[in-house]
Amino acid sequence: MKRVHPIAFGLLILAAGAWGGLALAEPTVPTGMVLIHGGTFKPMFRSTADFKEVEVKPFCLDQLPVTNEEFLRFVQANPRWQRSAVKRLFAGATYLKHWAGDLELGPEAPPRAPVTFVSWFAAKAYAQWAGKRLPTTAEWELTAAAGYTNANGELDAEFRRDLLAWYSSAMQPLNHVGSGRTNFWGVSDLHGLVWEWVADFNTSMVTGDARGDTGLDRQLFCGSGSLGARDVSDYAAFMRYGFRSSLKADYCVHNLGFRCAKDL
């Protein structure tokens, strides 16, 4: 090979590096997903024994929650996840109860509304089928902590106001996905539409070896529980922790859906 001039070679390396950086940032993000750059997630609720911070690596997250229409395609391809065929172990009796039939959405389940009445197992199976996975609590919370214009929603007064309004209001009929405002990362509907399953929902709010499970459940609702919170004014995050720790993996409820994540 012909000798390359050292300076030209150096430029080439630098330029390639820059290009490589760009190539990494964009092309690996699948359609419908958004690149979340990662960062440090500070668990909102923790005991003295917990990690103060969790490093979140860059990952991709669905821009929107999974819709009825998308979930219908999943059950068409996977008959064992149809309402009449699903095993009770993996989904409670209310699984997809708002659909008109096994393969029919009906008036209660608009195609573009987020799918709800799905269990954690069903959400996980969907994600696997789609070649994705469920986000972890840390990934979800890191993304959801962003405001409209800032990676830190705490500094975004408008965002905080909207958030509190949603968490303190009664359930509304489900809108179509994407009707909310996108956040800093370009993700929509993390707040304001439905709660969402996370991969490790069953790692929320474990208090310690010595406490029995009943104590754990009660702990959620007693005032002293909030003493472990990093920022007690973050009512919304506190609500989510409480909600998650009250869940069981086969629960299918009207206000709980999901979206998928994917490694880069």
Partner 1 sequence: MKGNQTSRQDRSLNPAGSRMFSWSRTIQSGLGFLLLVALTACDTTHEKPACCAQPNAVAERADFSDESLYQVESVWTTDTKQRIKLADLQGRPQVVVMFFASCQYACPILVHDLTRIEAALPAELRGKTGFTLVTFDTKRDTPAALAKFRKLRHLPANWTLLHGGDDDVLELAALLGVKYKQEASGQFAHSNLITVLNQRGEIVHQTTGLGQDIQPAVRKLQELLATAHASAK
Using CB under 8 A as the criterion, which residues of the chain lie in contact with partner 1 when the complex forms?
11-12, 14-28, 35, 37, 39, 47, 49-52, 78, 80, 87-90, 120-121, 124-125, 127-129, 131-133, 149-152, 155, 184-185, 199-200, 202-210, 212-214, 216, 245, 248-249, 262-264
Chain centroid offset of residue 212 CA: 28
Closest to partner 1 by CB, 163 vs 205, is 205
What token pair was written down for 65? 């929650």
Q: Which helix (H) or strand (E) element contains residue 243?
A: helix 235-245
Least spacing, CB of residue 170 vs partner 1, in Å: 29
User: Buried b vs exposed e over 220-245: b needs ≥16 C-beta within 10 Å?
Assistant: beeeebeebbeeeebbbbbebbbbbb
Residue 246 exposed, middle or buried by CB count within 10 Å (0-12, 13-18, 19+): middle
C-alpha to C-alpha distances, 22 to 26, 61, 159, 198, nearest whole angstrom: 6, 19, 30, 30
Closest to partner 1 by CB, 19 vs 166, is 19
Closest to partner 1 by CB, 97 vs 112, is 97
What token pair was written down for 212? 């029995």
Closest to partner 1 by CB, 175 vs 202, is 202
Q: In angstroms, rounded to a whole number, what is the distance separating the alpha carbons of residues 66 and 177?
A: 8
Q: In angstroms, rounded to a whole number, what is the distance separating the alpha carbons of residues 166 and 141?
A: 17
Return the residue matching tokens 């029919």: 104
Of the candidates 252, 226, 140, which has an alpha carbon nearest to the alpha carbon of residue 191?
Answer: 140
Closest to partner 1 by CB, 32 vs 111, is 32
Least spacing, CB of residue 114 vs partner 1, in Å: 21
Least spacing, CB of residue 260 vs partner 1, in Å: 10
Closest to partner 1 by CB, 8 vs 171, is 8
Closest to partner 1 by CB, 179 vs 202, is 202
Q: How many CB atoms lie within 10 A of CB 137?
A: 21
Least spacing, CB of residue 131 vs partner 1, in Å: 6
Return the residue matching tokens 């964009």: 26
User: Buried b vs exposed e over 153-186: b needs ≥16 C-beta within 10 Å?
Assistant: beebeebbebbeeeeeeeeeebbebeebebbbbe
Closest to partner 1 by CB, 117 vs 121, is 121
Q: How many CB atoms lie within 10 A of CB 38?
A: 16
Least spacing, CB of residue 262 vs partner 1, in Å: 5
Least spacing, CB of residue 100 vs partner 1, in Å: 23
Least spacing, CB of residue 15 vs partner 1, in Å: 5
Least spacing, CB of residue 169 vs partner 1, in Å: 28
